[in-house]
Amino acid sequence: MNEELRIAILAVRLYAERHPRPPQVSMSQAAEMLGISRQTVAKMVRFGQIKLNKYGRISIEQVDAVLESV
């Protein structure tokens, strides 16, 4: 794991500890939490790696699963 990714993951974890997290997030919010671009999140949705609900939101569990897989 590269240093930038490690720092991003740590930042997300620290943020999560201090702020309540919503059950679902937008693609932009997911991108910020994952430290990737919104376009990359959109590609992950297209390839079935992340699923949107009927309102176009991503569950926080999916964001966590992506973070843990890295």
Residue 15: pLDDT band with limits 50, 70, 90: confident
Range of the domain at 54: 3-69
Kindly report the CATH number assigned to the domain that includes residue 24: 1.10.10
Query: How many domains, in total, are found in the chain?
Result: 1
**CB-based contacts of 59: which residues, under 8 Å, 6+ apart?**
23, 24, 53
Q: 31 with 40: CB under 8 angstroms?
A: yes
Q: Write down the pTM of the prediction.
A: 0.69
First to last CA, the chain: 8
Task: Spell out the alpha helix ranges (H) of the chain.
Answer: 3-18, 27-34, 38-46, 60-69
pLDDT of res. 30 = 96
pLDDT value, residue 1: 65
For residue 3, the tally of other CB atoms under 10 A from its CB is: 7
